[in-house]
Amino acid sequence: MLEFAWPWFFYLLPLPLIMRLIPRAQRQEVALRTPQFQTMAALASAPEALRRRLGWRLLIVLTWCALVIAGSQPRWVGDPISLPSTGRDLLLAVDISGSMGTEDMTLGGSAVTRLAAVKHVVGDFVERRRGDRLGLILFGSQAYLQAPLTFDRITVNALLTETPLGIAGGKTAIGDAIGLAVKRLLNRPAENRVLILLTDGVNNVGEVSPLQAAQLAAQEGITIYTIGFGADQMEVKGLLFDRTVNPSAELDTQTLTDIAALTGGVYQRARSTEELAGIYEALDRLEPIEVDQETFRPEKSLYFWPMGIAFVLSLVTACLWLFRNQRTAKHSLDEAGP
């Protein structure tokens, strides 16, 4: 429906009439010298000129009305749109340190890096979280916010997919990632804060230790689910024979378990792409929190329509005024003679 943001602007409509009612003696008008004034005054007293004056006034009145309507800020308000009434605030913290480039995962029958597997699994998880606000934290030697909390799952997924390996440094700052998540979740409802942290290593750099950050998160009511990612066995080719190694030997399982226990979350171990997908499917079944329903009504400003009409009317008035002055001047010259 049509609404006016500033309806009090319509009180200005009778302003020109009020100005006309003020006695001429009390007006402070600027003197203007006009050539052939007597001739124009004589023409204005004629019946034909009187009809012209009525036309001028009509154009001026219409222009003023259009300007007042434009100043009242007319807008078209659409039908109410209901925003999601359930959901959580989920921050996804993903390790992108150098060790995430280890090719101990398989995807579609081919060997892939840990980061490639994470992008595939977490991308599917993001697509399923309709109604949730999702955010993305990437961490290596430093932790930084790649995407703030938003309903735009497509953008969050795209930012994760386009993330190159090691862009945040080669080491692992788990404590800094948790601290950044606490900072970003402080202004959200206390019962609605969740962090899902995935790493394949041990905290070896950063300003704060993981357990100190977890204690701060627990004080703020933030639940942290931790995931330790990486295979237990990996075949490494040698010159004479292959050998089996443990690519996840540096995974700090105890610290990840303590972080989850301190905040009321759960630690889970993923040794393959399939296990990681199963973990995120379990996390996907988190019971959403009921929140107050919000509605949004789209608005479209319409002030430019009456503004455009006022411009066209003023342009027509100016053109007619110039044409009238030319005719008056010509008439005066004809009466003056050679």
Q: Residue 56: which H helix or E strand, with range?
A: helix 47-71
Which tokens is 68 given? Answer: 């007042």
Rounded Cα gap, residues 171 and 202, in angstroms: 9
Together in a domain, 13 and 100: no
DSSP secondary-structure letter at 297? -
Together in a domain, 197 and 103: yes
Does residue 89 contact residue 132 with C-beta atoms inside 8 Å?
A: yes
Which tokens is 246 given? Answer: 């443990």
Per-residue pLDDT of the chain (338 residues; tens, 9 = 90+): 788 888 898 988 888 888 777 776 555 555 555 454 454 454 444 445 545 567 777 888 888 898 999 989 899 888 777 665 556 788 999 999 989 988 888 888 888 999 999 999 999 999 888 778 899 999 999 999 999 999 889 999 999 999 999 888 889 999 999 999 999 988 877 667 899 999 998 999 988 999 999 999 999 989 999 999 988 877 777 666 777 778 888 899 999 999 999 999 999 999 889 989 998 888 877 655 455 566 767 788 888 899 999 899 888 888 877 777 676 666 655 555 55
Together in a domain, 177 and 230: yes
Q: Are strands 267-270 and 243-245 parallel, antiparallel or unpaired?
A: unpaired
Angle between helices 210-219 and 253-263 (to 10 degrees): 10
Together in a domain, 67 and 152: no
Domain count of the fold of the chain: 2
Rounded Cα gap, residues 97 and 141, in angstroms: 7
Q: Residue 62: which H helix or E strand, with range?
A: helix 47-71
Together in a domain, 240 and 266: yes
Together in a domain, 135 and 226: yes
Rounded Cα gap, residues 49 and 329, in angstroms: 15
Q: Which domain holds residue 260?
A: 86-290
Any domain includes 38 = no
Together in a domain, 233 and 311: no
Q: What is the CA radius of gyration of the chain?
A: 37
pTM for the complete prediction? 0.61
**Which of helix, strand or coil describes residue 154?**
helix
CATH number of 111's domain: 3.40.50.410
Any domain includes 142 = yes
Together in a domain, 136 and 257: yes
